[in-house]
Structure 1
Amino acid sequence: MKVLLLIGATDSVTDGNYVRLHNALIARDHEVHLGHTAGLGLSKNQVTAPTWQPITPLVNGAPFDPFEHRDIEGFDLIWVLALGLRGNFLDTVQLLFNLETRTRVINSTQALMYLKSKYLLADHPEVFHYPETHASTDAAELLSIIQREGGRWIAKPPAGSLGRDVYLLTADDANAQVILDAMTGHGSGNYCLLQRWVPEIVSGEKRVLIAGGKPVGQYLRHAQTDHRTNVLVGAQAEACTLSAEELAYCEQIGQFLVQMGANYVGLDLAFPWVIEFNVINPGGLNTLWELEGLDYAPAILDALDF
C-alpha cells in the first residue's frame, strides 16, 4: 500500500505519532511518504503537496531531506496528522475532500469538519452522554447562564486543543466577565462554549485510543496544577484499564465514529461523560510507551487492517 502521512512542517524529525506510525507501516512493507499539510495546493486541477519518502525508520532529531512538491492523488491512503494553519482550515478540508473522491483519507473530511469542534457531540444523546453545553458570541448571555444556573462551568473555544484557553468559572468568580469577554473576542463575534463541569472528572479523565471502531489503548490523566487534565499543561498520566462497562461503552461509541469516517480517534472520557474527541493526530502513543514500554502503533494498524 502506498501511504502519505500529512504532518506539520519542521526542520527535523520530532518524536510523535507520525514517527511511530511511519516506522510500523514500513515494517509491514508499505511504501510510506511524508507530506506537509500546510503546503496542500492545486496544480492543473490535481491536489499537490510537498512530500519526501524516507526509506529507513525515522529517528528523533534527524534532519529531513528536502520535500518536493508533487501530485498526491496516486496514494492508496492519505493519513492526516496535522491540519496546517488555523486560518486555512476550510481550504485544507476542501482540498482533502477533492482527494476523498479518489483515495481513502483518515480521518474523513466529515469527521475533521464536525468532530474537531464540539457542537456535534451535543446532538447524539442516544450514543453517549455529553455535559450540558451552551455556545454563544455574547459574553453577557454566557455570564447570565452561570449566574442563573449556579455551579461550576468550563469555558473553552469550540475547536481548541492542548488545554489552551480552558477556564473553570463560577458565579462568584470576579474574573468571569473578563474571561468571557476575551473568549468572545470583545464583541468581534468569536464563539465560546460554556459546559457544565462534571464531578466525575475529579477521579481523572481517560484518554482512549480508538482505531477502526475498537479501543486499542488507554491511560488515566489527573489534573495537578489546575483543573485541566491535559498532559502538556502538567497533568499526571498513569496506566489504567477499562472496566467492562467502559469497554462496552467505548465500543458503542467506536461504531458511531466509524460511521462518521473517524477511524483513528482519541476519546477523552470521564465515565459516563464524553468530554471530547481528538480527530487530528490523537496524542497518546508516546505516553503509553513511557507508561507501559509498549508501542501501540502495530495494534492501531491491526485494528485498521493495514
Structure 2
Amino acid sequence: MYPWENISPETDTTLRIIHEAASRGLTVAITTPHSLTIRDSVAHAFCNVLKKSQKIPSNIVNFYRRAEFRRSKLPLAGFDAIVMRANPPLDTIALNFLDSVRNDTFIFNDIDGLRVANNKLYPASFSGDASRFVPATHVSKNRDYLEQVLKDSPGEKMIMKPLNGFGGQGVIVVEKRAKQNFRSLLDFYIGGEKNGNYVILQEYVEGAENGDVRILMLNGEPIGAMRRVPSADDIRSNIHAGGKEVKHVLTKEEKELCRAIGPQLVRDGLYFVGLDVINGKLIEVNVLSPGGITRINRLNRVKLQTQVVDFIENVVSARERVIERKHAFRKAIEDAEII
C-alpha cells in the first residue's frame, strides 16, 4: 500500500480493511512497493507488523493513532493473502517480485489483472453485451488524429483526460466552439514529441454535469454505491476534486451493467474494484486502490469491509482445503501396499 503516514484516517478505505483484519485477530503486516527485496532467491518485504498485544479500538481513527508496529523482513510466500492497495501509477517492478509467490499466496487483486486493467483503456476490452455500456473512447498521442476526432464527434463537446491520471486529475470538457484552443491543450497534455503522453478523448455522456456513481464490486457483484456530485464550478465529481457524496440506490440499468461486466472482472482476477458510471455508461474501472467504503458505510449504515475480509478469508480457506485434500490423497498412495 501507500505509506501509513499518508493515510487520511477519517476516510481511508485501506485503513478500514486493516482494522477489520486486526479486529479478527489476524496478523497484519504493511509494506510499500519500494520495500520489496530478494534474498537467496526468495522474495521478502521489509514490513511494519501490527503489534497484537494492544487492544484494538472500535473507533478506527483512534486505532490509526494508537497503532504500534515492529519492523521485520518477512518472506512474502509465508502470508496467506497479499492485498494490493498501492495508488496509481502501477509499479510493474513490484509485480515482478510478486510473480514468484503467486502460487503460494492469494493476491487480491491478481497481478495479471492489475497489469491489463491498471489504466483507463480497460473498459474498451469489454465485448458482447457489456460493450453497450462503454462510451466511445479514443486514445492517442497523435495531435492531428485527436483534432480530427473532435471535429468528427457527433456531439458538441467531449471529455479529455490523461491516460494515467487518477483522482480526477486533468479531466476537462472540450467544446467544439473552442477548438482554436485545442491544439494548445494537446501540446500541454501530450508534451514532448518523442516521449509524449497518451491522451483520452471520450464521448461526453449527458448528465455528467450532475456527477457520477461509484459502485464497489466484490467478486463480480455490487456491494455498495454512492453518487458523487461535483461542486458548482467543476465538472469533476471525484471527492478529492471537491465533489460530495450522496446516498444512491442502483438503477435497473446500473444493475444490468454490473451483471454484464462482473464475469470478466472475476476471470481477470479483479475481485475488488470501483466502477465510475455516468447515466448508465461505464467511464472507468478503478483496480489499484478503489475507495469509497467509508462514505458508503456512513450513508447506508453498513460495514463493507466485513464483506471484503470475509471474501479473502473464504478464498484462503478454500485453497487450504484443496492442499489438505491433496496431501491426504498423496499419503494414501504412499501408504498403499504394492500387490
**Displacement, 1:305?**
5.3
Identity of aligned pairs, percent?
A: 24
Partner of 1:189: 196
- What do you get for the CA RMSD once the two structures are aligned? 2.3
Match of 1:165 among 162, 167, 170: 170
Flag structure 1 segments of 5+ consecutive residues without an equivalent. 1-6
Moved more, 190-199 or 150-159: 150-159
**Displacement, 1:284?**
0.2
2:156 paired with 1:151: yes
Greater helix proportion: 2
Q: What is the identity, as a one-letter code, of the residue corresponding to 2:239?
A: V
Name the CA shift for 1:10/1:33 in 2 (closer, same or farther; >3 Å): closer
The answer to whether the Cα contact below 8 Å between 1:162 and 1:232 also exists between their aligned partners in 2 is yes
Q: What is the identity, as a one-letter code, of the residue corresponding to 1:166?
A: V
Partner of 1:95: 97
Name the CA shift for 1:60/1:31 in 2 (closer, same or farther; >3 Å): closer
**Displacement, 1:101?**
2.9
Q: What is the identity, as a one-letter code, of the residue corresponding to 1:167?
A: I
Partner of 1:231: 239
SS of alignment partner, residue 269 of structure 2? coil
The answer to whether the Cα contact below 8 Å between 1:216 and 1:300 also exists between their aligned partners in 2 is no
How far apart, in 1, do the equivalents of 2:120 and 2:16 lie?
28
How far apart, in 2, do the equivalents of 1:145 and 1:293 lie?
45
Match of 1:217 among 191, 213, 224: 224
How far apart, in 2, do the equivalents of 1:305 and 1:215 lie?
19
Q: What is the identity, as a one-letter code, of the residue corresponding to 2:80?
A: D
How far apart, in 2, do the equivalents of 1:66 and 1:13 lie?
19
**Displacement, 1:222?**
1.6
The answer to whether the Cα contact below 8 Å between 1:154 and 1:197 also exists between their aligned partners in 2 is yes
2:145 paired with 1:141: yes
Moved more, 291-300 or 98-107: 291-300
How far apart, in 1, do the equivalents of 2:144 and 2:228 lie?
33
Give per-residue Cα distances to partners, 1:164-199, cap 9 Å, x unaligned.
Answer: 111211222243222211111132322111111110
How far apart, in 2, do the equivalents of 1:28 and 1:207 lie?
28
How far apart, in 2, do the equivalents of 1:162 and 1:64 lie?
30
Name the CA shift for 1:305/1:63 in 2 (closer, same or farther; >3 Å): closer
2:50 paired with 1:45: no
Partner of 2:272: 264
Q: What is the identity, as a one-letter code, of the residue corresponding to 1:137?
A: K
Moved more, 140-149 or 192-201: 140-149
SS of alignment partner, residue 219 of structure 1? strand
Moved more, 230-239 or 52-61: 52-61
Greater gyration radius: 2
Partner of 1:130: 134
The answer to whether the Cα contact below 8 Å between 1:38 and 1:83 also exists between their aligned partners in 2 is no
Moved more, 212-221 or 239-248: 239-248
Name the CA shift for 1:157/1:31 in 2 (closer, same or farther; >3 Å): same
How far apart, in 2, do the equivalents of 1:303 and 1:77 lie?
11
Moved more, 75-84 or 217-226: 75-84
SS of alignment partner, residue 150 of structure 2? helix
Match of 1:35 among 31, 36, 39: 31
How far apart, in 2, do the equivalents of 1:18 and 1:113 lie?
21
2:205 paired with 1:198: yes
SS of alignment partner, residue 210 of structure 1? strand
The answer to whether the Cα contact below 8 Å between 2:49 and 2:70 also exists between their aligned partners in 1 is no
Q: What is the identity, as a one-letter code, of the residue corresponding to 1:52?
A: N
Name the CA shift for 1:103/1:304 in 2 (closer, same or farther; >3 Å): closer
2:291 paired with 1:289: no
Flag structure 2 segments of 5+ consecutive residues without an equivalent. 315-339
Partner of 1:3: none
How far apart, in 1, do the equivalents of 2:267 and 2:290 lie?
18
2:2 paired with 1:8: yes
Q: What is the identity, as a one-letter code, of the residue corresponding to 1:286?
A: T
**Displacement, 1:273?**
0.9
**Displacement, 1:282?**
0.7
TM-score by length of 1: 0.88
TM-score by length of 2: 0.80
Name the CA shift for 1:14/1:207 in 2 (closer, same or farther; >3 Å): same
